Amino acid sequence: MTTMSWFRSGARRHAAMDGDARQAAGAPLRRCARRAGLAPSDLRRPVDRVQRAIAFVLLGLALIAVPLAATTCARWSYRSGMRAEGADRSVRARAVATAEAVGVGATGDRYVHETLRAHWTAPDGSARVGVLTAWKNAKPGARHTIWVDLRGTATTPPRPHGRTVTDAGYAATGAGLAAGLPLFAVYLVVRRRCDRHRDALWEAAWARMDADAGHNRPS
């Protein structure tokens, strides 16, 4: 065997291996398409073609409706979250609290070690004193940034931006499912009806075969 022939045979062998690998990789997809009635076949009956046509129509609708619904709801949720963030920040302000005593609270309070007394300055410039939840490594004289309302009372932080992004993701997912699941349910109903029609065709074909066998049976 010459060197050129050896290279040609090796190239053909590698090409065949690549083709087998591609076929093996695409086998699950082809199997799913065949089970869904989307794979082409010369043995298809009219009911199979009807099911396939309806499946393609529903698939096209899903490719339009699902992204549109998901995008619309995500945009609406994100804008709503941004408005909520702005509203929260408009009635809150940052203040620096200075711890005075750690572990203050009502007698017998099991969580007394998690509180402290501190003072801070309200947005109007007046001094405020109150009991806060202790922060990490809190000790007398330690300073920590807190959120207060317009009257200077300690309050919860404003809505975080991460929650807005998460809510938008949930809205997109829910809208996509709400738009896609009904179309999938319609396809399942269509497939069930087509399966019943195919079963009836099979029964009729078997009945004709039995009748033909009875007529052709030798006496």
pLDDT tens, N- to C-terminus, the chain (219 residues): 455 454 456 555 655 555 555 555 567 777 766 665 556 666 667 888 888 899 999 999 999 999 999 999 999 999 999 999 999 999 999 999 999 888 765 545 555 558 889 999 999 999 999 999 888 888 899 999 999 999 999 999 999 999 999 999 999 999 999 999 999 999 999 999 988 888 888 888 787 777 766 666 555
Three state DSSP letters for the chain: CCHHHHHHHHHHHHHHHHHHHHHHHHHHHHHHHHHCCCCCCCCCCHHHHHHHHHHHHHHHHHHHHHHHHHHHHHHHHHHHHHHHHHHHHHCEEEEEEEEEEECCCCCCCCCHHHEEEEEEECCCCCEEEEEEECCCCCCCCCEEEEEEECCCCEECCCCCHHHHHHHHHHHHHHHHHHHHHHHHHHHHHHHHHHHHHHHHHHHHHHHHHHHHHHHCCCC
pTM over 0.85: no
